[in-house]
Amino acid sequence: MANVENPFGQVLVALVTPFQADGEVDWVAVEQHIDNCIVSGADGIVVTGTTGETSTLTDPEKIKLVEVAKSVSGGRAKVITGGGSNETAHAIELYKASEKAGADGVMIVTPYYNKPTQAGLLTHFRMVADATDLPVILYDIPGRTGVPIKYETILRLAKHPNILAVKDAKGDFSEVSRVLNQTDLMYFSGDDANVLPHLAIGATGLIGVTANIAAAPYRAIVDAVNAGDLHTARDAHQSLEPLVRAVMTHVPGTVAAKYILHGLGRIGSPRVRLPLVGPEEWEAALIEDELSLVSSLPNADVLGIDLSNFRPDRNAAAGGALPKIAGTTR
């Protein structure tokens, strides 16, 4: 297959959206967090995705997140807008507005709740891709949407000139290999624990939740794979294992990532919006147990974080917040 230029980057952070204690977006923290991710090695920022709590952001907040990310990145990283909608017309409207706001690409999630057929998925993705000149990443995450993008559908979508990549959260490595063999699509790992295996079979990069906390080791993995240095890539992968478990195992990734970022002093509040809530005491204890393993690993310094300064928030389980203006509808 022909080589296709990568317009997205390789180390993409599935950005959390920092909130104040009352549930409103903390725009100062958003700017600081984006800059920190880029300085740590990210060359792509995905705003308004699952990790960014897209389902409880208003449309104006989503567009402003694109604008802020574009301003902060200053050309240092690509800005990709995620989320979308399970209503095709609404998704088209959001992506058109994101393109005007300066997005470098769009990530279209499989329509959720509706449970469309593969013909419905094909039509949805094609119509959204037709409505923008931006490069498109398909987001295949059946665990959240209820519907996978089947192999045959991916092959058909690969013929669309704007559809250039897939974010894979299915973890079916044999299917990834089949698609890579038969199309020019780029693959991005959507499973933090399997970034190195994805890269090893030909994936381009990752779109990760744990990268909010530690982008540097993902940068190390990608750079090492690019250089053919499996030893260095494996060391960085192993150093990440307990941190990934802390973020992705016990509570939703967004909740754990915010809890850890707040404990490290990087954001002012761990607050999430309802129906998400902060970790209960026993869940927080499990997260902290995993974190305690990180610094004991021989290659822990590659993470670029000092967990000795971690200060847990014992009030995190107070719950989630209701924003002043709710809803994502137009």
Is residue 85, in this structure, part of any structural domain at all? yes
Question: Looking at the chain, how many residues does it have?
Answer: 330
What per-residue confidence (pLDDT) applies to 329?
A: 59
How many domains in the chain?
Answer: 1
Active-site position among 70, 78, 167, 258: 167
What per-residue confidence (pLDDT) applies to 1?
A: 47
Is residue 46, in this structure, part of any structural domain at all? yes
Contact (Cβ atoms closer than 8 angstroms) between residue 11 and residue 217: no
Residue 305: phi and psi, rounded to 5, are -130, 145
Is residue 309, in this structure, part of any structural domain at all? no
Whichever domain contains 53, its CATH number is 3.20.20.70
Is residue 105, in this structure, part of any structural domain at all? yes
Is residue 175, in this structure, part of any structural domain at all? yes
What per-residue confidence (pLDDT) applies to 2?
A: 52
What per-residue confidence (pLDDT) applies to 16?
A: 98
149 is in an annotated binding site: no
Q: At 155, list the tokens.
A: 């092959």
58 closest CA partner among 13, 24, 86, 95: 24
Is residue 250, in this structure, part of any structural domain at all? no
Active-site position among 95, 139, 187, 259: 139
| Long-range contact set of residues 237-242: C-beta below 8 Å, sequence gap at least 24 | 237/195, 237/196, 238/297, 238/299, 239/294, 239/297, 239/299, 239/300, 239/302, 239/303, 240/192, 240/210, 240/214, 240/303, 241/193, 242/290, 242/291, 242/293, 242/294, 242/297
54 closest CA partner among 114, 95, 22, 105: 95
Q: Does residue 218 have an active-site annotation?
A: no
What per-residue confidence (pLDDT) applies to 83?
A: 83
153 is in an annotated binding site: no
149 closest CA partner among 135, 158, 139, 159: 139
Is residue 75, in this structure, part of any structural domain at all? yes
Is residue 295, in this structure, part of any structural domain at all? no
What per-residue confidence (pLDDT) applies to 320?
A: 84
What per-residue confidence (pLDDT) applies to 4?
A: 73
pLDDT along the chain (330 residues), means of 10: 81 98 96 98 97 95 98 98 93 97 97 95 98 97 92 98 96 95 97 97 98 97 98 95 96 97 95 94 93 80 82 73 75
Q: Does residue 167 have an active-site annotation?
A: yes
Model's pTM, two decimal places?
0.95
**Full domain range(s) for residue 19:** 11-230
